[in-house]
Amino acid sequence: MRRSMPILVALLAFAGICRGGELPKYQLKTGLEIKYEGNDIFKFDGGRFDTETKATFWITKTNADGSAHVVYRRSQLSKDNRFKSDEKPRINFGMFDVTPDGKVSIDPSSAMMFDPASYFPRLPSTAAEMTKWSDHSDVTQTDTAFRALKDDEKTFEFSVIPSRIYDQIYGIGTKFDAVFDRDRGLLTTVHSQVSQTYGFNGQGSGMMALKSAEMKNPAMIAQLSKETDALFALTKERIDSGYDPKEIETQSNKLEADLRALILTLTLTETKQFAQDQLDSMTRERDWLIDGAKAQASVKALPPADWTAKDLDGKDYALKDYRGKVVLLDYWYRGCGWCMRAMPQVKEVAEKYKDKGVVVLGMNTDENVSDAKFVVDAMKLNYPVLRAKDLVETYKVNSFGFPTLIVIDQTGVVKAMHIGYSPTLKDDLSKIIDGLLKS
């Protein structure tokens, strides 16, 4: 009996402030426009980051399952006090679906730059979850723990503690305290605290507040829905050229022509501005893709390399020992966040092709072996990791950036390269590897 007393007291205490067990729900009616503004400060050894954020959400329709279809525009202006800066705000424009209890569905490519959970976090969906609940997102690679702080007739207050794949790597700790307005069905304020010990050693805090929530003209919302559907369908198209410079230029020119034609039909300021921004970036992206394709072609033209390297414990490895097998090299270092994001998929590739004539080797370029070992342990890597700082120029990795993944065929020749993180990395690599195994 004594053991149950603290639990009983805690339950009775929470029941005393509970709104009769009523679950909080987002109230997202078609036509609603929601605006948030926020400021964040992060102070670290030798400097400080200031970030100003403005976000607008339009509920353009209600889906058949009861979720809301949301179009968003977020503007972020970050300043580093160590440097003079006249940078323009970074704009994210996209769409997602969210249920009344905060279950979010978003395209993985969009989620790389914007997480709707910052504005529409999960809410308890059952009475059993009214004191604490959790959520997991494969898309953002995040586990989140929630705990109720206060519940009355007007507000439901709770804490949010996300755990992301790279938090342990960089010593990041984050906590949010959110206030949910029951009558409006929206968050009204969120206070945040963050700390980091690797890379930037410091602490920060921030506050986000609801600025307005009002119904807009139905005709405007209908037009916004129509224009964003067409715009996002077009801008979602990706160039699939096989890294052929001529094909890249052909496909880029077609996408540019299609976007120019679409711009002529747009009537809303928000969509026209986003479309113009996309058009401006297409030339830069095309040139970058063409230069990258030419650089990759030069690497693929190289004769089979015959390098040796040691792993993190000093064991010798030689590439020639893997003739007759497909080899996947993953170039990374601890300070590369996108490298950390990619690693779970590389692990899946290693597991998928275990004992199937495929070898996966991590190629670490950190100065200190302790950084490499820390990542290997934290990420529980299931493949050898080599000290590869002296092998960066072997495949001109510095020309591409990190992570760079290189697929080498059974004769030692580079057959494919994958630059950067992608939500479809595992599938992309599997397609290449399967083709080589069948050849």
Amino acid 307: pLDDT: 96
Selected residue with higher pLDDT from 243 and 161: 161
Answer whether residue 328 is part of any domain.
Answer: yes
Strand 186-196 versus strand 202-215 pairing type: antiparallel
Answer whether residue 395 is part of any domain.
Answer: yes
Residues 58 and 202 in one domain: yes
Residues 163 and 209 in one domain: yes
- Integer angstrom CA distances of residue 228 from 58, 73, 258: 11, 11, 15
> What is the chain's mean pLDDT, rounded?
90
Answer whether residue 359 is part of any domain.
Answer: yes
> pLDDT (tens digit, 9 = 90+) per residue, 338-389?
999 999 999 999 999 999 999 999 999 999 999 999 999 999 999 999 999 9
Answer whether residue 1 is part of any domain.
Answer: no
Q: How many domains does the chain have?
A: 3
CA 396 from chain centre, in angstroms, equals 27
Residues 267 and 367 in one domain: no
Residues 182 and 43 in one domain: yes
Q: How confident is the model at residue 122 (pLDDT cuts 50, 70, 90)?
A: very high
Domain boundary among 300, 319, 350: 300
Answer whether residue 9 is part of any domain.
Answer: no
SS3 percent helix, strand, coil of the chain, rounded to 5, is 35, 35, 30
Domain boundary among 216, 243, 260: 216
> What domain range includes position 107?
20-216
Residues 271 and 283 in one domain: yes
Residues 130 and 156 in one domain: yes
| DSSP letter string, 186-206 | EEEEEEEEEEE-SSS-EEEEE
The predicted model gives 408-435 an average pLDDT of 94
Q: Does the structure show a pLDDT above 90 at 291? A: no
Q: Does the structure show a pLDDT above 90 at 19? A: no
Residues 295 and 317 in one domain: no
Write the CATH number for 65: 2.40.128
Domain boundary among 300, 332, 353: 300
181-207 burial: b if 16+ Cβ within 10 Å, else e: bbeebbbbbbbbebbbeeebebebebe
